[in-house]
Amino acid sequence: MWFQKEIRLPAVKRGFHLITDLLTAQLPELENYKVGLAHIFIKHTSASLCINEDADPTVRQDFESHFNHMVPENAPYYRHTLEGPDDMPAHLKAALLGSSVTVPISDGEFNMGTWQGVYLCEHRNHASKRTVVVTLQGEGF
């Protein structure tokens, strides 16, 4: 039982953004799966996906602060600099966080922990809409 769909995410400012509700609203097909997996893949190299705390917005602010510290702009060893100071750090952050997340499906819903949500991690200053490919698979009721 396979289902695949590309979803255009709204353009967001640089930072970490919860998209769990936005995804599930676009995926009414989830309710057909008793047991399965949802694979969510971002088709870009300067934005990424991860799963983390979904309750306190300061967590997401601290993500932005820390990743800026750990992967600084204008590092003297960067050679890929033509697309602006935020570009090479964006590629590195995207690789550290990853291009996809896979979430278990149980009884028609994402089976995540109480405090987990899916983050869209936007690493560019002026990004446009991002596209994700969602692939659902599993067995029905």
In the three-class reduction of DSSP (H, G, I as helix; E, B as strand; rest coil), residue 60 is classed as helix
Residue carrying structure tokens 């698979």: 137
15: left (phi over 0), alpha (psi -120 to 50) or beta: left
Instruction: Tell me which stretch binds a second copy (CB under 8 A): 7-15, 22-30, 42-50.
Output: 42-50
Q: Could you tell me which residues are beta bridge partners of residue 18?
A: 119
Q: What is the amino acid identity at position 35?
A: V
Instruction: Tell me which stretch binds a second copy (CB under 8 A): 7-15, 17-25, 132-140.
Output: 132-140
| Contact between residue 39 and residue 100 where contact means Cβ atoms under 8 Å apart | yes
**Interface mask toward a second copy for 108-127; x: CB under 8 A:** ---xxxxxx--x--------
> How many residues lie near a second copy (CB under 8 A)?
60
Token pair in block for residue 3: 């289902």
Q: Per rule CB under 8 A, is residue 133 in the interface with a second copy?
A: yes
Q: Per rule CB under 8 A, is residue 38 in the interface with a second copy?
A: no
**Interface mask toward a second copy for 67-86; x: CB under 8 A:** --xxx---x-xxxx------
Q: How far apart are CA 115 and CA 29, in angstroms?
A: 23
Cβ neighbours, 10 Å, residue 21: 11
Q: Per rule CB under 8 A, is residue 2 in the interface with a second copy?
A: yes
Q: Which residues bind a second copy (CB under 8 A)?
A: 2-4, 35-37, 39, 41-45, 50-53, 56, 58-59, 61-63, 65-66, 69-71, 75, 77-80, 88, 91-92, 94-104, 106, 111-116, 119, 131, 133, 135, 137-139
